[in-house]
Amino acid sequence: MKEPNEDWLDQELKRLPDLEAPPELLPEVMRSVKRRSAQRWLFSIFRQHLPLIKNSCLGFALAVVVLVPLFNPGAALVDFLARSPVLHFLGAMLDVGRTILGNFRVFQLPLGWLVALVAGFSYLTCILAASTVRHLATAKRS
């Protein structure tokens, strides 16, 4: 079922005269077609060799990663350590800890000295306890 407007549109389209294209249009269209065909050819080569290009870039990157430390390991290590955010954070935390242990005082002693004394006495206590247990264990067997 056709609408009445469609019949009118068909009749108007049939009455329109054929228009001639301007003479400069054909060379422009041909240049555009040639340019697109050249681009498609270039893109097809690129798409065809894309895995080779990716693998070559990856191989080059891996070679650089392996060869730079091989030829200059000191500079690679220093560069790695200088750029590591974890080490920067650790250094900052150690600096804060040193400041706290050096400036905070308990019983007129810096906290660092107090912690060192407690750790030393704890270590000596553990050594004394272990040697006592060993002595008692060997004495009981005899």
Q: Work out the angle at residue 125's Cα, subtended by the Cα atoms of residues 121 and 131, and round it to the nearest 5 degrees.
A: 145
116 vs 142, more confident = 116
Question: DSSP of 3-54, one letter per residue?
Answer: -HHHHHHHHHHHHSPPPPPPTTHHHHHHHHHHHHHHHHHHHHHHHHTHHHHH
| pLDDT value of position 4 | 61
pLDDT tens digit sequence for 65-94: 888 778 888 887 788 778 888 888 888 898
Q: pLDDT value at position 126? A: 94
Q: What is the distance between the terminal CA atoms of the chain, rounded to a whole angstrom?
A: 117
Residue 133's H or E segment, with its range, is helix 111-141
The domain limits of the chain are 31-83, 97-142
Give the predicted TM-score (pTM) of the model: 0.31
Cβ pair 100, 111 in contact under 8 A: yes
The rounded mean pLDDT for the chain is: 82
Q: What is the pLDDT of residues 6-18, one digit of tens each?
A: 678 788 888 888 8
Q: Which residue has the higher pLDDT, 136 or 3?
A: 136
